[in-house]
Amino acid sequence: QQQVKQSPQSLIVQKGGISIINCAYENTAFDYFPWYQQFPGKGPALLIAIRPDVSEKKEGRFTISFNKSAKQFSLHIMDSQPGDSATYFCAASASGTYKYIFGTGTRLKVLA
C-alpha cells in the first residue's frame, strides 16, 4: 500500500515532442505529489508538485495531471528539449508522516 508505481522506465522523445510519465499509488492518505528532476552526478531537485484538491498544475512547459478517483498522476513535458534529458522521479507523501515514497524513476532522453 506504500508503493508508488512509475512508468515507463525509460523514454526517448524527439525535440519538440511531448514527454509523458505516469505514476500510480494505493495509499489514499497521500496528499502531496511532487516530481523531482535529477541530472547525472547531481541530487534530485523539485520540479513541480500538486495537492489532490486540484486536477492540474502547470509551470511553464511542465504540467502535472492528477486523477484522484483513479489514484494516478502524470507529468507532461511540452515542447521537450535536449536539456530536459534527465531522470524523473514521482513521489507521494502524507501530512504528518515526514516520509516521501518515491517511484523507481524514468530516464528521459530528448533527441536533438
- Catalog residues that contact other proteins under the rule CB under 8 A: 6, 9, 31-32, 34, 36, 41-46, 49, 51, 89, 93, 95, 98-100, 102-105
What does the DSSP assignment read for 36-90? EEE-TTS--EEEEEE-TT-SEEEETTEEEEEETTTTEEEEEESS--GGG-EEEEE
Shortest CB 103 distance to other proteins, Å: 6
Shortest CB 20 distance to other proteins, Å: 19
Specify the residue, 15 or 51, whose C-beta has the smaller distance to other proteins.
51
Cell numbers 512508468 correspond to: 7
Specify the residue, 17 or 100, whose C-beta has the smaller distance to other proteins.
100
DSSP 103: -
Shortest CB 11 distance to other proteins, Å: 15
Helix (H, G, I), strand (E, B) or coil at 83: helix
